[in-house]
Chains A and B, each alone.
Chain A
Amino acid sequence: MIQLQHITKRFGQLTVLDDISFEIENGGTFAVLGPNGSGKTTILKIILGMVLPQRGEVLVQDNKVRQTWDYRKQISYLPQIARFPDNLTVRELIKMIKDLRNMPSREDELVEMLGLQKFMDKKLGNLSGGTRQKVNIVLTFMFDVPILILDEPTAGLDPVSLIRLKDLIEKEKAAGKIILITTHILSLVESLADEIIFLLEGHIHFRGSLGALSQKTGEKDLEHSIAALLE
């Protein structure tokens, strides 16, 4: 479970998150939405300990995370931009992350599923953006951890891989995991998200299920609901 208590984050003069609190108790898929610059990535990074808030506490599985690191054993993160050391091969990168995390993994299955076998010995610097994103996905899903944080997981993916990704997420959800996701692909939200956390001007403007959202806004589809929220 994840708990955010009174999180405030400023970058210079700009307050990105202003006294935000929320709690995720049980498994499920949570979509963090909001306009550009509303602090979606910042929230994810605060949970991961990469961005340090001025105020407030983050608790993961009931432990405060400030200045600790081993709680991240329970989190997998898929970063927004997939860039890796240019001169390592895919195989070496996967081996490195396995080395660092030192826990059982299922990379072979994922590599096969995403069709990465023939790239295994290629240098990462020579791969296309989409292929790098697939590597990114392998790195994220190969460990069995209770929390998954996905920042724009669909970037650069072809339709086939997109479907595979959805399957993956579904399976993880079925296993009772907490999945936090940011994305611009609203169809993905519609088909996957149990709950929506909508950020606006540093506050949580809305939190609830898709149904609750359309009830609140009176709009049928997500696109219009969000447009209504922004007005």
Chain B
Amino acid sequence: MRLTTTFLLLLIAHLGTTGVLKVCPSCTIQTIAAAVRTAEPMDSILVQKGVYTCSDLEVKKPVSLIGEEGAILDGLGSGYVLKILSDSVTVTGLKIINSGRSYTKDFAAIYAFRANHFTLSNLEIVNPFFGILLEKSKNGIVRSNKIYGASKREDDSGNGIHLWHCSNTIVENNEVYGLRDGIYLEFVDDSMVKNNYAHDNIRYGLHFMFSNRDEYLENTFRNNGAGVAVMFSKFIVMKENKFTHNWGTASYGLLLKEIYDAEVVDNSFTENTIGIFIDGSTRINYLGNLFKQNGWAVKVSGGCYTNKFFKNNFIGNSFDVSYNSKMNDNSFNGNYWSDYTGYDLDKNGVGDVPYRPVKLFSYIVNNTPETIILLRSLFVDIINFSEKVSPVFTPDDLIDNQPSIFVFQ
């Protein structure tokens, strides 16, 4: 709170050179619309404590909208609240309530179209349809916002932060929950998603579609329908994210579908039904990730080539790796597997016996899901062992030839 205040003061001091318009219930300017109308480009509008009706307000000039504590915009439940249609607009410090809902239009608390160099920060958006919806905008920042709803169903809820055809945008330090997708990017290039916390969303914490050369780092995705879905995208870097507790039928920490040339580095996947679900993805490096107590740490489905897993830790997963075919073109050399029972006589830290991460039982469970109830039973151990000795159903070349004896730090 103190940080925010300091930040505000600095901002106000800086803006002192240009015009500052105050809005308050007892001021001469009593509505945001009036302030925007009278403001000159580069002016700041200081919104003081109070509730302001604000619906479908179009901002067509570069102004800064700065909310003081207790400044609330009320959209009265219809349409957009703010529509940003100019470059260099800043909106900060406001609480926005009652933006409109619709089954035909993507109403949002803040909507921006062809608006570059925008900054949207320290906003609190309560129960919106879409929280922040950005279209064809570049070089913007979405920072430290809190966007939340209480959605129960996918079809009548929108996304927290939604970017469409944007580039060079930074989305960081936001918290998004109770919506459809926490953060959604479609046709978004060269952007960064950093240190956000997306939890309890109905569909995905973070959702990429047709986006290239993006990075997302240090985010936490917890208890979403599924953590992160990355689809039809190239050159994505995923680093130091936490994917936890994404539970449910076909739920996963990370879904990679039709992805090429990506890096998945130093992430942690804990207690997800599926850690990573890989479908038709090629040339991806998985390095230094932790897979702990997931149902399936890695589930590989059809047409995945030249994926490389190394220096990952697989600890206490029900299944480490699951394949739906006998074909394998991916490498799993040099990981730590807690299920490894081999030995290291030459004490070089590498197990002397190769490890086979795909179990026969995972193949059986793929075909007859009910059999999951026999997990860890003696009979299953016995058939797993016999499959290990002579593989019939599982890829016989899927072997870690250098299983690590020690957990990678």
A and B touch in the complex (CB under 8 A): no
